[in-house]
Amino acid sequence: MKKSMIFCLLISLFILCTIPSFAKEVVLNYYSHAVENGTRTEIIEEFEKTHPGIKVNLVELPMNTSKKLQTLSTIFQAQDSSIDIFDADVIWPPIFASAGWVEPLDNYFTAEERAEFLDGPILANTYMNKIWGVPYRTDAGILYYRTDLLEKYNRSIPNTWNELVETSLYIMEQEADMKGIAGSWAQYEGLVCNALEIFWSYGAKVLDEEGNVVLNSPEAVEALQLMVDMVNKDKITPDGIINFFSGDARAQFFAGKLIFMRDWPSGWRKSQDPEQSKVVGKVGMTPLPTGIEGGRSYSTLGGWQIMVSNFSKHKKEAAEFAKFRASYEAQKIAAIGLTHLPSRKAVYADAEVLAVNPYYKDMYNVFLNAYPRPKTPFYAEVSSVLQVEIQKALTLKKTAEEAIKDATKQIEEILNY
Ligand code: GLC
């Protein structure tokens, strides 16, 4: 071998060993939802293709959002650096930000970029004047209904909850084995989302604008009484509703056993899949009913963001992934593959996305105006009180009035802590 060749080889070896980016790739640990249908893998593969040198290692979290929060909190309490990025529920930014567990993303996710997103998810990720997450999916509670049944029995889409109860009773009288409505009423975050929509629509609130606890009101009692009666008096909800997660309500609706269902738009995909649903082509979507005649319909703002751990050793790469996960391209893949609701405005006008989600046109205003749950670093505790007290009323262990009073007292104690 010539001397010059040996020299070149030695130089190359030296460069390879001394410049770390040549030798190492960054692996981001992404704590995410339990397995879906390959859509998220497709997004991750796209990211890895366009970002050589960064790999994403997926770690699955439990299905239930309340359990996800418990799992993540335990890891973060130990200041463990094994999480780089994670899927965060829309109510979590104040919890994680105030604990010092996440990195503010203002330097990565500029105000100009944020303007391309819906206001609701951006506001939810903004806390103490900083942005803490990149929303890649929003969510909003909606009413699914059986178009064929309403037509057959000549009933209109219910505007109020009372109308929904009446219509359910009317159809149930004539259709054996049918029930009126189900949602996620088990003792977890889903129950709070479902219940608050009813509470708000009666004019009740948990906190006012200044953060005072204003739950104890005749409106809140009326709203909770409606839920109690749906289960115990009118019996329009299926047996075991107090143990229903979102998937349980879907299973009943897709089996053709429900007239109405309260769910998120992600239920749409399966409702239209003949392998999973008996109601393909018979499903309509509409805003949730109101409590008060002529009043406004409320839909809980849900959704998911990527947050970056403050203990990550790869914050820059982590922020790059967060932005990619919320990019137009990735949101389009998820809107088509999983009927996940986009957080970027422009995706709602995409023809291919609209072909799979034709309801976007009529429901855009509902998605735009989805209403946030209370914004507080103590959200998990507040939510847990609501879950327990609402279930006590639903199971007749307390009257609606007692449950509301007791919930108010406990929430006051939590927030004045
Ligand atoms: C959905 C929503 C999320 C909500 C959860 C409750 O995943 O996107 O915001 O907290 O349901 O189960």
- Residue 302 CB less than 6 A away from ligand 1: yes
Ligand 1 centroid, distance to 400 Cα (angstroms): 25
Is the pLDDT at 126 greater than 80? The verdict is yes
Ligand 1 centroid, distance to 396 Cα (angstroms): 26
Place of tokens 């709602």: 348
List, as one string, the DSSP characters of 167-227: HHHHHHHHSTT-EEEE---STTHHHHHHHHHHHHHTT--SB-TTS-B---SHHHHHHHHHH
pLDDT band at 37 (very low <50, low <70, confident <90, very high): confident
Contacts with 416 (C-beta within 8 Å, 6 or more apart), sequence order? none
Place of tokens 């998820």: 334
pLDDT in the model for residue 16: 52
pLDDT in the model for residue 417: 63
Give the nearest ligand 1 atom to 89 CA.
Answer: 9
Report d(CA 130, CA 113) in Å as an integer: 14
pLDDT band at 9 (very low <50, low <70, confident <90, very high): low
pLDDT in the model for residue 3: 63
Is the pLDDT at 21 greater than 50? The verdict is no
- pLDDT tens per residue, range 350-368: 999 999 999 999 999 999 9
Is the pLDDT at 39 greater than 50? The verdict is yes
Measuring CA to CA, which residue among 192, 214, 235, 240 is closest to residue 372? 192
- Residue 341 CB less than 6 A away from ligand 1: no
pLDDT band at 403 (very low <50, low <70, confident <90, very high): very high
- Residue 101 CB less than 6 A away from ligand 1: no
- Residue 139 CB less than 6 A away from ligand 1: yes
Ligand 1 centroid, distance to 11 Cα (angstroms): 55
- Residue 65 CB less than 6 A away from ligand 1: yes
- Residue 192 CB less than 6 A away from ligand 1: no
Four-CA torsion 168, 169, 171, 172, nearest 10 degrees: 100
Is the pLDDT at 8 greater than 60? The verdict is no
pLDDT in the model for residue 379: 97
pLDDT in the model for residue 56: 98
- Residue 306 CB less than 6 A away from ligand 1: no
Is the pLDDT at 30 greater than 50? The verdict is yes
Report d(CA 64, CA 188) in Å as an integer: 8
- pLDDT tens per residue, range 215-253: 999 999 999 999 999 999 999 999 999 999 999 999 999
How large is the average pLDDT for residues 185-197?
98
Is the pLDDT at 22 greater than 90? The verdict is no
pLDDT over 70, % of the chain = 94
- pLDDT tens per residue, range 48-94: 999 999 999 999 999 999 999 999 999 999 998 999 999 999 999 99
Is the pLDDT at 326 greater than 50? The verdict is yes
Is the pLDDT at 10 greater than 90? The verdict is no
The mean predicted confidence, pLDDT, of the chain is 95
Ligand 1 centroid, distance to 4 Cα (angstroms): 64
pTM over 0.95: no
Report d(CA 263, CA 148) in Å as an integer: 19
Report d(CA 261, CA 76) in Å as an integer: 36
- Per DSSP, the three-state class of 260 is strand
Q: Residue whose CA is closest, atom 6 of ligand 1? A: 190
Is the pLDDT at 19 greater than 60? The verdict is no
- Residue 144 CB less than 6 A away from ligand 1: no
Ligand 1 centroid, distance to 89 Cα (angstroms): 7
pLDDT band at 288 (very low <50, low <70, confident <90, very high): very high
- Residue 189 CB less than 6 A away from ligand 1: yes
Is the pLDDT at 13 greater than 60? The verdict is no
How large is the average pLDDT for residues 269-280?
96
